[in-house]
Amino acid sequence: MKRKLIAAIGVVGMLAGVAACGSGDDGDAKTGADGFKGQTLTVWAMDGSTPDGWTKDVTAAFEKKTGAKLKFEVQQWNGIQQKLTTALSEANPPDVFEIGNTHTPAYAETGGLADLTDLKKEIGADWTESLNESSVVDGRQYAAPWYFANRVVIYNKSVFKEAGVTAPPKTRDEFFKALDAIKAKGKAEPVYLPGQNWYFFDGLLIGKGADLVKKDGDKWVSNLADPKVGEAMALYKKYADYSKAPKDKDEATPQQADVFAKGKTGAFFGMGWEAATAIKANPAIEKEIGYFTIPGDTADKPEGVFLGGSNLAVAEGSEKKELAKEFLKIALSDTFEGQLAKEGGVIPNKDALQDQLAGNAAAEAAAPAAKVGGTTPLIPEWAAVENAPSPIKAYMTAFLNGKSHAEAAAQVEGEFNKRLAQKQ
């Protein structure tokens, strides 16, 4: 029966094997198309993660296939950590939830995430290895890679043109030359870069091959004093010196796209969709916006980027784990993963779907860098380091305010190590 249903919907044929999924590890929840009738699966997605069309189509496909209801609950960013932690301790946690890749190892360690190793075997053979890394802890799969994004240069074409730069820079040197030209022209701020855009800095670290943590015996400790970190920070400063942005704020206050929208900024480092924020603030800016990959040493080797991303996890406390897995199989299928990439302009979890990004200028600019992208250290201890007030941001501000790399690193290393050593 189930076979027929699936065939009828025409979802990827390979899913047919799923019929034998009733492993019974979730107690009395019944499986099979009929078994799910009357149940409701709750999915937490972060604000901005789920484009309308995708949500509608996935819901329809899920409900048709399983007979169960699907409820998306959009979560706000404010206080999400406390919300998620407490929710996972409840009798009725969200069955499936979106979780940032940098947070996944920490949550995997808490026992709050269900083991998805068998699901990976079933549908994850072609997941991009580097994107799947954050979901794997001690050889077990605790989440499924969902979508990824990395920063690009979003620039104002007419500002560049006025300064005599007609083609987007291909190398870092060309980029700096362009910024010099804009500066010389004196009519616009060449680039907007506040002092604490830490994920952009992480990209530069990745570009330099610098590591933020190192192993000391069986403990992780700060590696901030490494000269390579200093090199990356010096490069950051070189960019930041073109900007009048505050040295102790991040890109959210004020929202960098709002600043850019005024038309007096040459470029900023942002996610492709931040352009939409700028356009909302000032529709006239739309025709001026262009994108290019953050350039590196040479044209064929872009700058390193932080691959921000979201995984989908199943709550260990969920009573509907089988249904949750059904959802993952649908949501992560080529059809819908592709649709999400196309609609949201985000990098999908497998290379084969990259072609969905064609025609999306921002995503096309992002894609080349994704190959050289990286993340934050994927260790459970890491999440604590990024909690506000972040010692890394403090380091960045100290450096930009004139401290040497060694001084700035020394200033925050105590806090950094304390965070890494926190009891779990």
Partner 1 sequence: MTVQTERPPARPTEDTQRADGGPHPRGARRRPAALAPYLLLLPAVVATLLLLGWPLVKNGMLSFQNLNMRQLIQHLTEWNGVDNYTEVLGSSDFWRVTGRSLLFTATNVVLIMVLGTLTGLLLARLGRRMRVTLLIALVLAWAMPVIAATTVYQWLFAQRYGVVNWLLDRAGFHSMADYNWTGDQLSTFFVITVLIVWQSIPFVAINLYAATTTIPKELYEAAALDGAGAWQGFTSVTLPFLRPFLYATTFLEVIWVFKAFAQVFAINQGGPDRLTEILPVYAYIEGIGNQHFGMGSAIALLTIVILLAMTSLHLRIVLKQGEDEL
Partner 2 sequence: MNRSLLGRIWPNATAVVLVVLCVFPVYWMFATAFKPTPDIVAEDPVFFPTDITFEHFETAVNAENFLTLVGNSLTVTVLAVLFSLVLALAGSFALARMRFKGRRGFVVGFMIAQMAPWEVMVIAIYMIVRDADMLNSLVPLTLFYMVMVLPFTMLTLRGFVAAVPRELEESAMVDGCTRPQAFVRVILPLLAPGLMSTSLFGFITAWNEFPLVLVLNKQAEAQTLPLWLSQFQSQFGDDWGATMAASSLFAIPVLVLFVFLQRKAVSGLTDGAVKG
Question: Which chain residues interact with partner 1 by CB under 8 A?
Answer: 81-82, 85-86, 88-89, 106-107, 109-112, 244-249, 253-254, 317, 384, 387-389, 394, 397-398, 401, 411-412, 415, 419, 422-424
The span from the CA of 134 to the CA of 213, in Å, is 16
Is 257 among the residues that bind partner 2 (CB under 8 A)?
Answer: yes
Q: Using the 8-state DSSP alphabet, how is residue 245 labeled?
A: S
Nearer to partner 2, 232 or 271 (CB): 271
Tokens representing 25 are 């590890």
Nearer to partner 2, 178 or 261 (CB): 261
The span from the CA of 408 to the CA of 301, in Å, is 30
Query: Of the ranges 159-167, 228-236, 249-257, 404-412, which one interacts with partner 2 (CB under 8 A)?
Result: 249-257
The entry of partner 1, partner 2, none that residue 109 binds, CB within 5 to 8 Å by partner kind = partner 1
The entry of partner 1, partner 2, none that residue 126 binds, CB within 5 to 8 Å by partner kind = none
Is 354 among the residues that bind partner 2 (CB under 8 A)?
Answer: no
The entry of partner 1, partner 2, none that residue 387 binds, CB within 5 to 8 Å by partner kind = partner 1
79 — phi, psi (to 5°)?
A: 75, 20
The span from the CA of 73 to the CA of 45, in Å, is 6
The span from the CA of 12 to the CA of 360, in Å, is 25
Q: How far is the CB of 50 from partner 2 (least distance, A)?
A: 13
189 — phi, psi (to 5°)?
A: -75, 125
Is 186 among the residues that bind partner 2 (CB under 8 A)?
Answer: no
Query: Of the ranges 7-15, 73-81, 158-166, 349-357, which one interacts with partner 2 (CB under 8 A)?
Result: 73-81
Nearer to partner 1, 282 or 411 (CB): 411
Start-end of H helices in 18-101 = 52-66, 80-88
Is 74 among the residues that bind partner 2 (CB under 8 A)?
Answer: yes
Which residue type, as a one-letter code, is found at position 204?
Answer: L
Find the binder of partner 2 among 25, 34, 47, 286 (CB under 8 A): 47
Nearer to partner 1, 25 or 173 (CB): 25
Dihedral sign (CA 227, 197, 148, 278): negative
Q: How far is the CB of 107 from partner 1 (least distance, A)?
A: 7
Query: Of the ranges 11-19, 107-115, 173-181, 246-254, which one interacts with partner 2 (CB under 8 A)?
Result: 246-254
* Overall size of the chain counted in residues: 424
Q: How far is the CB of 102 from partner 2 (least distance, A)?
A: 12
| Beta bridge pairs of residue 268 | 154, 192
Nearer to partner 1, 140 or 371 (CB): 140
Nearer to partner 1, 270 or 338 (CB): 270
Tokens representing 18 are 């799923």
Tokens representing 264 are 């007096």
Q: For residues 274-303, which are near partner 2 according to CB under 8 A?
A: 274, 277, 280-282
Give the contacts of 294 (CB within 8 A, at least 6 positions apart): 151, 152, 153, 203, 269, 302, 303, 305, 369
- Residue 257 CA to its chain's centroid (Å): 18
The entry of partner 1, partner 2, none that residue 411 binds, CB within 5 to 8 Å by partner kind = partner 1
Find the binder of partner 2 among 78, 125, 217, 423 (CB under 8 A): 78
The span from the CA of 269 to the CA of 154, in Å, is 6
Residue carrying structure tokens 């390979």: 14
317 — phi, psi (to 5°)?
A: -80, 0
Within 13 Å, how many C-alpha atoms sit on residue 160's CB side? 23
The site for partner 2 (CB under 8 A) is made up of: 47-48, 73-74, 76-79, 82-83, 86-87, 89-91, 251-259, 261-262, 271, 274, 277, 280-282
